């Protein structure tokens, strides 16, 4: 198309050269749009791959690993330091610190206290140990103990 545009300019057909150039610009725009859409899709796919498939469920003082689909509102779950919260929930442990950079972009850990809501995908830093959660119905993930509500 560039050749066609250059040829049209050489023979003095300026209107045709401009139309060919407009077509080239439209095609370039479509290519850029396609690239941006594929990048967005791959980003969402990578985020979804971070979601744990199971959670540590606490029942009568015993821990058991269960699939996220088996969690019910009100269930308590635990999340180990360094693993992602599998579900949204409320913190039961008095205090816990979390890396929410994947969710909010904030680079510093956020300290949460008992009763505060947490979103699935947050990561307790490596030195914090286990924390407890009460699971909320919105999502499912955790390795700290969370209570599902």
For the cut 80, the answer to whether the pLDDT of residue 139 exceeds it is: no
CB 128 within 8 A of CB 97: yes
- Is pTM beyond 0.85? Reply is no
2 vs 21, 26, 35, 113, CA distance in Å? 7, 13, 22, 63
User: Model confidence over 106-129: pLDDT tens digits?
Assistant: 888 888 888 888 888 888 876 556
Q: How far apart are CA 82 and CA 63, in angstroms?
A: 18
Instruction: Please give the helix or strand (H or E) that residue 35 lies within, else none.
Output: helix 14-49
The total of other beta-carbon atoms located within 10 Å of residue 75's CB is 23
Any idea which residue has 């830093």 for tokens? 125
pLDDT tens digits for 5-32?
A: 778 778 888 888 788 888 888 999 999 9
Give the pLDDT confidence score for residue 33 in this predicted structure. Answer: 97
């Amino acid at each position: 198309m560039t050749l066609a545009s250059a040829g049209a300019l050489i023979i003095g057909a300026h209107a045709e050269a401009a139309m060919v150039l407009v077509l080239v610009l439209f095609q370039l725009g479509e290519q850029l749009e396609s690239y941006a859409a594929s990048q967005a899709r791959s980003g969402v796919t990578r985020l979804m791959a971070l979601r744990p498939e199971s959670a540590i469920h606490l029942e009568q003082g015993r821990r058991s690993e269960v699939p996220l689909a088996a969690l019910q509102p009100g269930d308590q779950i635990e999340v180990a330091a360094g693993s992602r919260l599998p579900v949204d929930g409320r913190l039961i442990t008095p205090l816990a610190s979390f890396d929410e950079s994947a969710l909010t972009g904030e680079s510093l850990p956020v300290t949460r206290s008992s009763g505060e809501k947490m979103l699935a995908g947050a990561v307790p830093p490596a030195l914090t140990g286990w924390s407890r959660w009460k699971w909320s119905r919105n999502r499912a993930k955790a390795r700290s103990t969370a209570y599902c509500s």
